[in-house]
Amino acid sequence: MLAFTLRRAVQAIGVMFAVGIIAFSMFRFAGDPVNQIVSIDTSAAEREAVRKSLGLDDPVPVQFVRYFADAAQFKFGVSYQFRQPVSTLLMERMPATLELAICATVLAMVFGILMGVYSALRRDTVLAKLFQAVSLIGISLPTFLIGILLIYLFAVILGWLPSFGRGEVVKLGWWTTGLLTLSGLKALIMPSITLGLFQMTLIMRLVRAEMLEVLRTDYIRFARARGLTTRAIHFGHALKNTLIPVITVAGLQFGSVIAFSIITETVFQWPGMGLLFVQAVQNVDIPIMAAYLLMVSLIFVTINLVVDILYTVVDPRLRSTFGRAV
Amino acid sequence: MTEPVLSVRNLQVEFASRRGTLRAIDGVSFDIAKGEVLGVVGESGAGKSVTGLAVIGLIDPPGRIAGGEICLSGLRIDNLPAEEMRRVRGKRIGMIFQDPLTSLNPLYRVGEQIIETIRTHLNLSETAARRRAIDLLAEVGIPAPEKRIDGYPHEFSGGMRQRVVIALAICAEPELIIADEPTTALDVSVQAQIISLIKRLGRDHGTAVMLVTHDMGVIAETSDRVAVMYAGRVAEIGPVQDVVRNPLHPYAKGLMGAIPTLAGDDKRLVQIPGSMPRLSAIPRGCSFNPRCAFAFDRCRVERPEPLPRGAQSVACHLYDSVPAESAA
């Protein structure tokens, strides 16, 4: 078990190294960074001075090692447009993105699993068919459209919820949270739904399909032959077996939720990393783009690692196979 | 004679399909007494397993019990409400399925599954249920049960898993065990152990056993009586010696002729020509008539009803008001 975790951790470091190479190469191939910093009338001598101060005249491998060593300590250089360390900018924005992503995922998991289980167990009811129909909409409508429709309905027509921003936030050390104020919570509702709707419908359809599959297995039939209660069979035996693939998908989806919160954050002007990234793209702010790439990869890799470990917690068969394989 | 543990009368099971209703079981009747092992044999699709599932009330839609009666120790169980039938399952009727590899939930320890079943049916504390589970595992021949109880199903071999399944089936001391091809998925050497285990448990606890199989060897070894099924009907039923040595129904004769002997004579095994009809195309009259060497006009028109003949009972026109010697 420990060996398995270690091996996966080493693999994760390998992935991060590869991503680091890509992030670093962005500096070299997306134009000359010096041109981004200086103005048009800067003299050649001054340009050289800037180049030297940034260490851009060193050989590429030296630059790479330096970039990597810094990145490992969460130092990503200085943003061209804000003239502030990128790590400070990201740290400021990260709580907003993580709160939004976690809210959206929790929402998607809770409702996705509930609706999925319901529509598997009560397949022929009107409500189950309604869920299926709604899930089709959720899976096929693009995120920004859902966001705009929600804003139109709840902010413009009904005026119940704010159309943009994060509301009031409370500082807890370096972390800022919108979960403790009423306006913060209200501001969180629509972005969470927008961001979580796709995952919710995905999880619902997955749970439904898996549950129907599991209910047909021999061990469920045997559980019925043993006279267990319907509740024990459905929620004790069937649901646990259903959750194995759901964990994978939900885990991987959490990564995409963070990565693709860009769109939702733009629609709702949510002050998170996604919005920062969009602004960085517009201004060719490469340090931010590279740092964002690294951060998102780190989150993805970490989640994958956690999902792999969670697997072995849920499924005892994997514990021993991995134990033997090492 | 005391009341049989299981009494099935004129059972009919139908499956609704797009092309009309298919009758999988058509008028099956049999009894099983306390401590008796009834073997049920027949080709695949003869309705052996469906009969077992009907008795334990696990026929899933679109199938349903369309007629007849099933009584367990005098209590009619085929029309019980779902919740009461659930209480009968596992407590009064235990069932063993064909594939021990897939019968156990892979995510729970075997002990958890046994304790769960015990506590569903018997009013026992967790510790008492655990003690009972260990005793059960010991009884079905699992070595070091106090250790193995915390193992997961994948840590057991096929034969050991089938023992666990049997322990689960008997954990509430049922009156009846239905074993649906319990040895088909196992090695030959393990098969014999499982069969003798089922036989011993039936004897020790006075449990009635309905043993569904297509292995005549297993039947001859284990059963007190045997029912030969064909196309959803009982062709012949009787004491196992009589049916094996002196089968009456032409189909039963064919089945017995297909058993290889150890005598080593190089006679070719007899084979029954043709195959069993599909449920949607069961012939009029006796369903066996197209394959029967002795079929005559009446067989193609009128369905034969079971007739007692000595200790046996046979559904064949050859034995109807005709002296016995003309049969063969």
Does residue A165 sit in helix, strand or coil? coil
Query: Could you identify the residue written with the tokens 């009811």?
Result: A125
B117/chain A closest Cα distance in angstroms: 7
Query: Could you identify the residue written with the tokens 């709160």?
Result: A99
Q: CB neighbours (10 Å) of residue A68?
A: 15
Q: Alpha-carbon distance A319 to A298, whole Å?
A: 25
Average of pLDDT values for B270-299?
82
Amino acid at position A160, single letter: W
Amino acid at position A1, single letter: M
Kind of pairing, strands B63-72 and B208-212? unpaired
Domains annotated for chain B, with CATH where assigned, are 6-92+206-326 (3.40.50.300)
Q: What is the pLDDT of residue B114?
A: 92
**And the tokens for B224?**
């007190």
- Give percent above pLDDT 70 in chain B: 95
Is A224's CB within 8 Å of B58's CB? yes
**And the tokens for A142?**
């693009």
Q: What is the pLDDT of residue A326?
A: 35
Q: What is the pLDDT of residues B137-174, one digit of tens each?
A: 998 888 998 899 999 998 898 888 988 999 998 888 89
Q: What is the pLDDT of residues A160-210, one digit of tens each?
A: 888 788 877 778 777 777 777 888 888 888 889 888 888 889 899 999 999
> Would you give the distance in Å from CA A183 to the centre of its chain?
24
Domain regions of chain A by residue span: 90-284
Q: Counting one residue from A and one from B, how many pairs have CB atoms under 8 Å apart?
A: 80
Does the beta carbon of A224 lie under 8 angstroms from any beta carbon of chain B?
A: yes
Is the pLDDT confidence value at B94 over 60? yes
Please choose, from the candidates B315, B253, B314, B248, the residue with its C-alpha nearest in 3D space to the C-alpha of residue B287: B315
Is B105's CB within 8 Å of A226's CB? no
For the ranges A72-86, A135-149, A254-268, B225-239, the maximum mean pLDDT occurs at B225-239
Cβ-defined contacts of B321-328 (< 8 Å, 24+): B327/B248
**Are the C-beta atoms of A139 and A227 separated by less than 8 Å?**
no
Does the beta carbon of A235 lie under 8 angstroms from any beta carbon of chain B?
A: no
pLDDT band at A321 (very low <50, low <70, confident <90, very high): low
Between A319 and A193, the more confident residue is A193
Does the beta carbon of A160 lie under 8 angstroms from any beta carbon of chain B?
A: no
The 3 state secondary structure assigned to A205-226 is HHHHHHHHHHHCCHHHHHHHHC
Contacts of B172 in chain A (CB under 8 A): 227
For the four alpha carbons of A230, A235, A236 and A238, in that order, the dihedral sign comes to: positive
Q: What is the pLDDT of residue B134?
A: 93
Is B155's CB within 8 Å of A240's CB? no
CATH class of A90-284: mainly alpha
**Are the C-beta atoms of B247 and B214 separated by less than 8 Å?**
no
pTM higher than the cut 0.95: no
pLDDT band at A320 (very low <50, low <70, confident <90, very high): low
Question: For residues A220, A225, A230 and A233, what is the CA-based torsion angle, rounded to 10 degrees?
Answer: -30
Average of pLDDT values for B183-200?
84
DSSP B89: B
Model ipTM? 0.84
